[in-house]
Amino acid sequence: MERDINRQIGILRILSEENIWFTILELEQKLGCSSKTIRKDISIINDVLSPNSSICSIKGQGVRLFLAPDQSIAEVISKFFKRSLTFLTFQQLLEQNFSTVSSLADKLYIPLSSMNKVLSRVEAHIEKFGLSLAKRPLRIVGNEVQILVMFSDLYLEAFVGEEWPFTEYKKEVFERYLSYIEEKLNITLFISDRRRLIFFMAIFLKRKEQGYSFKLDKEMIDCNVASLYYVKIFKNSENISFEEEILQTVEEKVLFIIALKIARYKMNNHEKSKQEELMHYKEGKIHSYLPIVHFIQLLEQEVGVKLKDNDEFIYGMIDYCRRLFYKLRFMPYLKRPNRSTTNYIKEKYNSTFCLVEKAFNQWGETLYINPIPEEEIAKVTMRIIAKQVENHIEHKRALLITDEGSSWKSYMKSVLIRKFGKKLKIEDEVYGADLEESVQLMDIDFVVTTVPLHIESKPLICVSTILQERDLKEIEAVLH
């Protein structure tokens, strides 16, 4: 992104880290710019913030960020992200090809020299996905599935909450389609994963209408066509009015099945499914469970934490390993940049991370799925850290919502439990398309979320993905 946008986002991140006053000098040192520039940036940020949020400045104390309870830092940052020339360029490249760089510069109303700088940033980003920028016409080239994933990630970062950027399509069509899928498979998707699938399908449809296509290898197609998911959705079902508008070919349907399998969802007969899984795991008669048994043994051996008798940990690992194997076996080309949460866990719990990495690599070698991405190592590290915190009976109940995945959610729970102990019980499962209705029916006192939500039935606390002191103080205020 541009230097000024990066700097403004940097100010927001620093001020959101702790619920304290920062001096202008401290911000100067952290950001490497003048006090005049920082004051100008703060003025710009205040213009973007909602009426009940502001960066307050008091002489002798410094500056401090005050966010409205219903506004998250992710929502604020997304507004700046959308304004950046880098993202606006990606938007234009998704909409159409441009014959020359000059024509794109004209479209964005910027000089050619500035356009070339922006394109350098675009190239640096897409290289992380194994893609490149071709010219005449100007377009992103490479593996089409990678392109779909890359654009999905960008748009999910830029558009949060209920924002819908694909105005040529009715969001309700995709919502109804996923509801149909959920009914056929007797599952309920996690809210954030449902949204990711909707964005993925919209971008796929847009690229398809522009003439782009993709190829999957025969092994991947054959494996999925024979799967229970494919049979239930596409073979043993009546036609639905909008199905052909989205998925027409076998390859398109297989791509959707892959995306669905990687998504997180709840089996509607959860307890029965859990008990059956644990029974088969412990009996050791079904071959597919044996690699998971081996992995947990390796983790115990390397990390020195007893895990094999913890049913919750085992069940979580069964679900995780099944999805992980599929991702690494069939989609090795999805080389995503590290998330901030991955880097955070690697740095904060480096010794545990390294031990998990050693066990992971040993396990991966036996299944021919090396190398293991650091993001996956961090996920298992988070699960182990979370299991080191004992769960007690608490006084107030909170629903925790985050789109960072179940491993990070477990870690966030452990942080909150360490901080508040018996004062707080955390629920972390909410499903369905109607979030407001689902929350209203839950036995909870308030909601803690890292994503922007509009919920009126329960008190809402928006927190940072990496919990900060200011977040903990807000939760503590509710508990008291």
Residues 381 and 416 in one domain: no
Residues 379 and 277 in one domain: yes
Tally helices (H) and strands (E) across the chain: 23, 10
Q: What are the backbone angles phi and psi of residue 230, rounded to the nearest 5°? A: -65, -45
Per-residue pLDDT of the chain (480 residues; tens, 9 = 90+): 788 999 999 999 999 887 789 999 999 999 999 999 999 999 999 999 988 899 999 988 899 999 988 888 888 999 999 999 999 999 999 998 888 999 999 999 999 999 999 999 999 999 988 899 998 889 999 989 989 999 999 999 999 888 999 999 999 999 999 999 998 888 999 988 999 999 999 999 999 999 999 988 887 788 788 877 888 888 865 555 554 468 889 999 999 988 998 888 888 887 887 888 899 888 887 777 888 999 999 999 998 888 888 898 999 998 888 778 767 764 544 555 677 788 899 998 999 999 999 999 999 998 878 788 898 999 999 999 887 654 434 468 899 988 888 888 889 998 998 888 878 888 877 665 667 777 777 878 899 998 888 788 888 899 988 898 889 998 988 887
Give the whole-angstrom CA distance, residue 448 versus residue 460: 6
H or E, element range at 398: strand 396-401
Asked if 66 and 53 count as a contact pair (C-beta separation under 8 A), the reply is yes
Q: Which of 139, 233, 134 is nearest to 177 (CA)?
A: 233
Per the domain annotation, does 105 fall within a domain? no
Residues 420 and 356 in one domain: no
Residues 251 and 293 in one domain: no
Residues 243 and 180 in one domain: yes
Integer-rounded Cα radius of gyration of the chain: 24
CATH classification of the domain holding 402: 3.40.50.2300
Q: Which of 56, 73, 54 is nearest to 21 (CA)?
A: 56
Give the whole-angstrom CA distance, residue 295 versus residue 299: 6
Last residue in a domain, options 387, 404, 427: 387
Q: How many domains in the chain?
A: 4
Alpha-carbon torsion 95, 98, 101, 103, what sign? Answer: negative
Kindly state the tokens that stand for 110: 């910027």
Give the whole-angstrom CA distance, residue 480 versus residue 468: 19
Per the domain annotation, does 28 fall within a domain? yes
Asked if 296 and 312 count as a contact pair (C-beta separation under 8 A), the reply is no
Per the domain annotation, does 25 fall within a domain? yes
Asked if 450 and 463 count as a contact pair (C-beta separation under 8 A), the reply is yes
Say how many C-beta atoms besides its own lie within 10 A of residue 65's C-beta.
24
Residues 255 and 288 in one domain: no
Residues 281 and 304 in one domain: yes
Residue 237's pLDDT is what? 59
Give the whole-angstrom CA distance, residue 233 versus residue 260: 12
* CB proximity list for 450: less than 8 A, separation 6 or greater: 72, 74, 401, 402, 403, 404, 462, 463, 464, 465
Per the domain annotation, does 291 fall within a domain? yes
Per the domain annotation, does 162 fall within a domain? no
Residues 403 and 467 in one domain: yes
CATH classification of the domain holding 44: 1.10.10.10
Q: What are the backbone angles phi and psi of residue 139, rounded to the nearest 5°? A: -160, 160
Residues 257 and 332 in one domain: no
* CB proximity list for 46: less than 8 A, separation 6 or greater: 54, 55
Asked if 295 and 301 count as a contact pair (C-beta separation under 8 A), the reply is no
Cα–chain-centroid distance for residue 53?
25
Q: Residue 371: is the preceding peptide bond cis (ω within 30°)?
A: yes
Q: Where does residue 150 rank: exposed (0-12), middle (13-18), buried (19+ CB within 10 A)?
A: buried
- Can you tell me which residue has the tokens 């002798």? 60
Per the domain annotation, does 197 fall within a domain? yes
- Can you tell me which residue has the tokens 């929502």? 75
Residue 332's pLDDT is what? 46
What pTM was computed for the model? Answer: 0.70
Give the whole-angstrom CA distance, residue 213 versus residue 225: 19
Q: Which of 95, 224, 207, 90 is nearest to 157 (CA)?
A: 90
Per the domain annotation, does 139 fall within a domain? no
Kindly state the tokens that stand for 134: 């071709």
H or E, element range at 134: strand 132-134
Q: Where does residue 473 rank: exposed (0-12), middle (13-18), buried (19+ CB within 10 A)?
A: exposed
- Residue 53's domain spans which residues? 3-68
What's the one-letter identity of residue 45?
Answer: I
Cα–chain-centroid distance for residue 109?
33
Residues 312 and 415 in one domain: no
CATH classification of the domain holding 290: 1.10.1790
Question: What is the total residue count of the chain?
Answer: 480
Residues 349 and 288 in one domain: yes
Q: What are the backbone angles phi and psi of residue 460, rounded to the nearest 5°? A: -120, 130
Residues 326 and 287 in one domain: yes
Last residue in a domain, options 321, 352, 387: 387
Last residue in a domain, options 50, 68, 86: 68
Per the domain annotation, does 108 fall within a domain? no
